[in-house]
Structures are given as structure tokens and as C-alpha cells.
Amino acid sequence: MKQKYSITRDDEKQVLTIREYAELDKEMMSLLCEETYSQQQLMEAAKEGIEAVLAVIRTNNMYPPAIYAEPIAEAVIEMFRDREKLSAELVFDDKDLFNKEPEVVEESEEVVEETVDVDELLEDGLDDDYDEKAVINNIKTSIQVADDEPGDIDEVP
């Protein structure tokens, strides 16, 4: 599914609006959500960094996934840096996420090998704590187990 985020800055009203669209029909984007934010609040957050902008942008209605949220936050910050830029449009395609090569995590050169003896894990001393079965027998419950169930297989007429 394709998603589009349209970001517009209105300096007259001192607001920034983010609209989220999704491709519900082929080649047709439908508006899912629209949020309006105070420019002052976003400018203060932009001074602190991307994480602060993300905290402002994400609301109960507008909560883009992390892979989309960071480029959106970067676009918002860029709009405040470049005062002539009044709008931005970001388009994401979910199928690109599946075609993306997995990141290779480099292993550290320092490998700690720990060997554990299986017999140590299976010590008999563990059962000593559970020998008192009286605790289980003293549980009071409203459920009663019938001694003779009509559907028992052992009873053959």
C-alpha cells in the first residue's frame, strides 16, 4: 500500500498541517487523517532534535511508523530552516520495505564462549522444593471432578 504525507506551513495562521493519505484504490489516494500543529511548538522541538519533533507530531490520530516518522520529522525541520519552503510531500510504498535488503550487523571480534554442563542444569535438587503437595490439595474451588463420567471409554456395555 502506498502512503503519502503532505506537509504545509501557513505562516499567516502560524500552523503546520500534516495530512496522511493512503492508496485504498489503485492510483487513488484517500485522506486518512489531518493534524494541525502550532509552528511555535514545532520550532522549539526542532531545536532539540528529531526525537522532540517526533514527540510533537505523534498524536492519537497521527502516529506514523518509525520508518516513515523520521523522514517526516526531517522534512518538518527542513521547512523551518528554509523559510521559503512552504510545503513538502513524502510518498512511501510498503512493498519497498519487503524488497529492502536486511542490514548486516557486524559481530564484535571479542567472542565470549561459555560452556555449561547440561548435567548441572538438570540437578535432582530442584524437586526438593516441590515435595509438599499439601499446598495443592488444600485449594478450595467450586469446580468438582466427577468420579464416574458418563462418557468414560472404560465402561463398555
Domain ranges of the chain: 2-99
Residues paired with 35 in a beta bridge: 18
Mean pLDDT within 36-48: 94
CB 89 within 8 A of CB 5: yes
- So what's the pLDDT on residue 97? 72
Higher pLDDT, 22 or 146: 22
Rounded Cα distance, 68 and 76, in Å = 13
| Residue 55 pLDDT > 70 | yes
| Residue 132 pLDDT > 60 | no
| Residue 94 pLDDT > 60 | yes
Rounded Cα distance, 24 and 65, in Å = 18
Higher pLDDT, 121 or 8: 8
Output the average pLDDT for the chain.
81
